[in-house]
C-alpha cells in the first residue's frame, strides 16, 4: 500500500527518506504557483538556484533572471516571484533562472527522490490525479518561511492528501496534522489563512492580488517536474493520468 | 503585549530566539509527564543528560540512573521513562540522572531562555497560571520523535495556548497550527490521538496504561524548572501564581 508523508519544513527534510519516492514541492505563496503559471504562459524551462550570485551568472549567459528575497523582486533582475510577472509574452519559449527566499532552496535537500514535481492550489487536481495514477510513495515537502512551518503550505498538503485515493496510507504525525488542518478549513481559504504570517507579510507589501491568485483552485493543468536540475512541464498530463 | 510561539521540533529550535523568554519544554509521552510525577513522589532533583554513557557515569557517582531508548528502559539502569517507575519510595529524596530518546536532548538547544520549565497534561493548569502571572514571552518547545513533529506535543501546545489570557499574542504559524489542532480535539484526547505514531508505538510495547496516565489533566500542582543544569520543582507555586 503506498504511503503519503509530509515534511513541514526544509529543515526537517533530513529525517525523511526520499529514496524511490515522489516528492511534491509546495510553496503556495508564491514560488510553486509562479512556476506553474510561468509554464502556462509558455516558458521553456526554469533553472532553480540557491543564491542571487549564481542567478546573476546565468542571467549573463542569456537566461531571463527571476529573483526574490523577503517578498520583493531583487534589483537588476527582469522578474520577481509574482505569478503576474509571467503574464508576459516576452517569456514565451525562454529559459528562466529563478531564486526565491524559500522555494528554490528546498529543492536541494530532496535530490534522492525518484521524481520531484511541483504543486500548488492552482494545479491541485492534476497533481492529485497524477499521484493517484503513479501509486508510489509520496512526500509532500512544504517550503515554509525561512525554516519555519507555515500555514498555507501545510493546508495545501492536507488538501492534497484529501484528494488521494483511500489506498494511500497517511504516514507520520505531520500528515495527520496537515489533514486535520484541511478538515477545518472549509471553502473560504483566504478567511482561514487570515492568521498566516506570510499572508500578512504579503498584504503589507500590497500583494493582496497575488494572494487571491495563489489560492484559486485548479486554474491550470500543468505539472512542473525537476529533471537534471531544470524544471520543465510533464508532457501529455491527461495521458499520464489514468 | 507578551507573545507565545511554538517550536514544533527540536530541529527547528535554531530559528527561534529564546533570549529573555520562558521556554516550556513538552514531551507528553512520556518524559515531561514522568519528570513531573517523579517530583510528586519526592525526588530531590533530576539531571538531564544526552547520552547513555554520561548517564552511566553519574550513576557510578551515586545518582539513581533512569534511561530510555525507543520506548524501553535501558539495561543496567534502575528506572526507565514510565511515570509508574517513580511510584516508588526508594526514589524519595534522591538525585536522579535521566536520559530519554527525545525529551532530554531537547533541553540543550534552548539554553538562552530566561527560564526553562516543563509542561504536560498532568500539570496543565498550574503551568498556564504561572505563565499568566509572569506575563513574559513564551516559546513552547515540543520534543517530537527523533526530530519529527508529533501530534500529542502539538496538541498540548495548542491546549496550553487556549489557557493563556487573551493578552498573549499568538506569534508564528506553528502557534496557529497548534491552536487549531486544540480546537478540533474535544475532550476525548485518547480518541483524538488514535492516529499518533507514538501512541501506537507505545501501545505495541504494551504501555496503554502509560498513555492513559499521560493524558490525564491536572493531576499534579508541580512545575519542574531547569536551574544550573539540574531540574528541581518551582517552590511555592500557589504564591507564584497571582
B13 touches chain A (CB under 8 A): no
Would you say residue A105 has pLDDT above 70?
no
B-proximal residues of A, 136-195, CB under 8 Å: 145-151, 154, 170, 172-174, 176-177, 180-181, 183-184, 195
Which residues in chain A are closer than 8 Å to B172, comparing Cβ atoms? 148, 197
Per DSSP, the residues of B138-190 read EEEEE--BTTB--HHHHHHHHHHHHHS-TTSEE-SHHHHHHHHHHHHH-S-HH
Q: Which of A12, A174, A195 sits opposite B176 (nearest CB)?
A: A195
Residue A163's pLDDT is what? 97
Contact between chains at B177 and A147 (C-beta distance less than 8 A): no
Which residues in chain A are closer than 8 Å to B184, comparing Cβ atoms? 180, 183-184
Taking the CA atoms of A224, A30, A185 and A220 in sequence, report the sign of the dihedral they define.
negative
Chain A: closest CA distance from residue B195 (Å): 7
Which carries the bigger pLDDT value, residue B199 or residue B240? B199
CA B15 to chain centre: 20
Chain A: closest CA distance from residue B64 (Å): 33
Q: Which of A12, A15, A149 sits opposite B177 (nearest CB)?
A: A149
> Measuring CA to CA, how many Å separate A6 from each of A93, B126, B186?
34, 34, 24
Across the range A188-210, mean pLDDT stands at 90
Report which of A124, A144, A142, A156 is spatially closest to residue A198, judged by C-alpha positions. A144
Model pLDDT for residues A43-91, shown as the tens digit of each residue: 999 999 989 999 999 999 999 999 999 889 999 999 999 999 998 888 8
Across the range A123-129, mean pLDDT stands at 97
Q: What is the pTM of this model?
A: 0.94
ipTM of the assembly? 0.92
Across the range A2-30, mean pLDDT stands at 95
Residue A103's pLDDT is what? 66
Model pLDDT for residues B46-58, shown as the tens digit of each residue: 999 989 999 999 9
Mean per-residue pLDDT over chain A, rounded: 93
Q: Which of B12, B146, B173 sits opposite A197 (nearest CB)?
A: B173
Chain A: closest CA distance from residue B92 (Å): 37
Q: Please, which pLDDT band fits residue B238 given cuts at 50, 70 and 90?
A: confident
Amino acid at each position: 500500500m503506498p504511503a503519503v508523508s509530509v515534511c513541514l519544513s526544509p529543515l526537517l527534510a533530513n529525517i525523511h527518506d526520499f529514496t524511490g519516492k515522489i516528492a511534491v514541492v509546495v510553496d503556495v505563496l508564491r514560488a510553486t504557483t509562479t512556476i506553474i503559471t510561468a509554464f502556462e504562459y509558455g516558458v521553456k524551462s526554469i533553472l532553480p538556484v540557491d543564491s542571487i550570485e549564481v542567478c546573476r551568472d546565468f542571467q549573463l549567459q542569456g537566461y531571463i533572471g527571476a529573483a526574490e528575497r523577503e517578498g520583493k523582486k531583487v534589483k537588476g533582475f527582469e522578474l520577481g516571484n509574482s505569478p503576474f510577472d509571467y503574464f508576459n509574452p516576452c517569456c514565451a519559449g525562454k529559459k528562466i533562472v529563478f531564486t526565491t527566499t524559500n522555494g528554490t532552496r528546498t529543492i536541494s535537500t530532496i535530490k534522492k527522490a525518484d521524481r520531484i514535481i511541483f504543486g500548488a492550489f492552482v494545479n491541485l487536481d492534476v497533481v492529485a490525479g497524477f499521484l493517484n495514477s503513479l501509486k508510489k510513495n509520496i512526500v509532500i515537502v512544504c517550503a515554509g518561511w525561512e525554516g519555519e512551518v507555515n500555514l498555507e503550505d501545510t493546508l495545501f498538503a492536507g488538501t492534497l492528501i484529501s484528494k488521494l485515493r483511500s489506498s494511500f496510507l497517511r504516514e507520520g504525525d505531520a500528515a495527520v496534522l496537515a489533514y486535520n488542518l484541511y478538515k477545518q478549513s472549509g471553502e473560504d481559504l483566504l478567511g482561514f489563512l487570515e492568521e498566516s504570517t506570510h499572508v500578512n507579510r504579503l498584504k503589507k507589501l500590497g500583494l493582496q492580488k497575488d494572494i487571491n491568485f495563489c489560492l484559486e483552485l485548479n486554474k491550470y493543468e500543468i505539472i512542473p517536474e525537476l529533471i537534471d536540475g531544470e524544471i520543465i512541464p510533464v508532457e501529455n498530463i491527461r495521458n499520464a493520468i489514468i
